[in-house]
Structure 1
Amino acid sequence: MTFELSGAHPARHHRVLVAETADGEVVGTAQTGIAHDSPRPGQGYVNAYVDPARRGLGAGRLLLGAAEEHLAARSAVDSYAWVLDEPAHRAFAERNGYRPGRSAHFLRLDLTAAALPALPQALPEGVELRPATAFAADPRPLFEIDSESTADEPGDVQADLDDYEDWLTHTWHNPSLDKELTTVALVDGRAVAFSAARTDGATRYGSAMTGTLRAFRGRGLAKLAKNTSLHRARAAGYTEAFTGNDSGNDPMLAINRWFGYEICATETHYTRELGTQWPSN
Structure 2
Amino acid sequence: MRVRKVSGDNTVAAFNQGSFRRGGPQPHLWLGRIVAGMVEVRACADEREEQLSLDVYNAVWSHDAITMDEVRHFKAATTDHVDLVAWIDGKPGGSAFAAIMPHRPELVFVLSTVLSEHRARGAGTALYEAISDWTRERELDVLEAVVSDEDTKSLAWAERRGFAEDRREKGVALRLADIDPPRVEPPEGIEIVSWAERPDLAHGIYEVALEANPDVPGYEDEIPEPFEDWLVNDMQGSGDKPEATFLALAGDEVVGYAKFSLTAAQPKTAHHDMTGLKRAWRGRGIARALKATQIGWAKEHGYEELRTRNDERNAPIRHLNREFGYQPTTGRIYLRGPLSASGS
> Does the pair score TM above 0.5?
yes
1:44 matched to 2:108? The reply is yes
Looking at structure 2, the residues matched to 70 and 232 of structure 1 have their Cα atoms a distance apart, in angstroms, of 44
1:110 matched to 2:172? The reply is no
- Tell me, what secondary structure is at the counterpart of 2:243? coil
Question: Which residue does the alignment assign to 1:136?
Answer: 199
TM-aligned CA deviation for residue 99 of structure 1? 1.4
* Structure 1 counterpart of 2:81, one-letter code: H
Moved more, 198-207 or 233-242: 198-207
Q: Is the 8 A contact 1:198 1:205 kept in 2?
A: yes
1:155 matched to 2:218? The reply is yes
The structure 1 residue matched to 2:288, chosen from 223, 227, 240, is 223
Looking at structure 1, the residues matched to 99 and 274 of structure 2 have their Cα atoms a distance apart, in angstroms, of 22
Question: Which residue does the alignment assign to 1:168?
Answer: 231
The structure 2 residue matched to 1:5, chosen from 72, 94, 98, is 72
RMSD between aligned alpha carbons? 2.1
TM-aligned CA deviation for residue 69 of structure 1? 1.8
Question: Which residue does the alignment assign to 1:78?
Answer: 142
Q: Is the 8 A contact 2:217 2:311 kept in 1?
A: yes
- Tell me, what secondary structure is at the counterpart of 1:48? strand
1:26 matched to 2:92? The reply is yes
* Structure 2 counterpart of 1:54, one-letter code: H
- Tell me, what secondary structure is at the counterpart of 2:197? helix
Looking at structure 2, the residues matched to 33 and 74 of structure 1 have their Cα atoms a distance apart, in angstroms, of 11
Looking at structure 1, the residues matched to 168 and 75 of structure 2 have their Cα atoms a distance apart, in angstroms, of 26
Looking at structure 2, the residues matched to 138 and 214 of structure 1 have their Cα atoms a distance apart, in angstroms, of 19
Q: Give the TM-score normalised by the residue count of structure 1.
A: 0.89
Looking at structure 2, the residues matched to 252 and 149 of structure 1 have their Cα atoms a distance apart, in angstroms, of 13
Looking at structure 2, the residues matched to 227 and 81 of structure 1 have their Cα atoms a distance apart, in angstroms, of 33
* Structure number, greater radius of gyration: 2
Output aligned runs, 1:59-78, within 5 Å.
59-78=123-142
- Tell me, what secondary structure is at the counterpart of 1:105? strand
Question: Which residue does the alignment assign to 2:333?
Answer: 268
- Tell me, what secondary structure is at the counterpart of 1:42? strand
Question: Which residue does the alignment assign to 1:257?
Answer: 322
The runs of 5 or more residues in structure 2 that have no matched partner are 1-67
Q: Give the TM-score normalised by the residue count of structure 2.
A: 0.74
Looking at structure 1, the residues matched to 157 and 248 of structure 2 have their Cα atoms a distance apart, in angstroms, of 44
TM-aligned CA deviation for residue 7 of structure 1? 5.9
1:213 matched to 2:278? The reply is yes
1:204 matched to 2:264? The reply is no
- Tell me, what secondary structure is at the counterpart of 1:257? helix
Question: Which residue does the alignment assign to 1:190?
Answer: 253
TM-aligned CA deviation for residue 125 of structure 1? 2.5
- Tell me, what secondary structure is at the counterpart of 2:336? strand
- Tell me, what secondary structure is at the counterpart of 2:177? coil
Looking at structure 1, the residues matched to 168 and 319 of structure 2 have their Cα atoms a distance apart, in angstroms, of 16
Moved more, 202-211 or 108-117: 108-117
Once the two structures are superposed, residues 123-176 of structure 1 have per-residue CA deviations (whole angstroms, 9 ceiling, x without a partner) of 433211110113424512112212322111111773232311111221221010
Question: Which residue does the alignment assign to 1:241?
Answer: 306
Looking at structure 1, the residues matched to 175 and 71 of structure 2 have their Cα atoms a distance apart, in angstroms, of 28
TM-aligned CA deviation for residue 184 of structure 1? 0.6
* Structure 2 counterpart of 1:50, one-letter code: V
Q: Is the 8 A contact 1:42 1:75 kept in 2?
A: no
Q: Is the 8 A contact 1:131 1:180 kept in 2?
A: yes
The structure 1 residue matched to 2:208, chosen from 126, 145, 150, is 145
Once the two structures are superposed, residues 190-237 of structure 1 have per-residue CA deviations (whole angstroms, 9 ceiling, x without a partner) of 111011112235311111100101121111212211211111110111
Q: Is the 8 A contact 2:114 2:123 kept in 1?
A: yes
Looking at structure 2, the residues matched to 167 and 247 of structure 1 have their Cα atoms a distance apart, in angstroms, of 26
Identity %: 28
TM-aligned CA deviation for residue 88 of structure 1? 0.9
Looking at structure 2, the residues matched to 115 and 187 of structure 1 have their Cα atoms a distance apart, in angstroms, of 28
* Structure 2 counterpart of 1:181, one-letter code: A
> Measured at CA, do residues 51 and 270 of structure 1 come closer, stay the same or move farther in structure 2, by a change above 3 Å?
same
Q: Is the 8 A contact 1:5 1:14 kept in 2?
A: no
Moved more, 244-253 or 6-15: 6-15
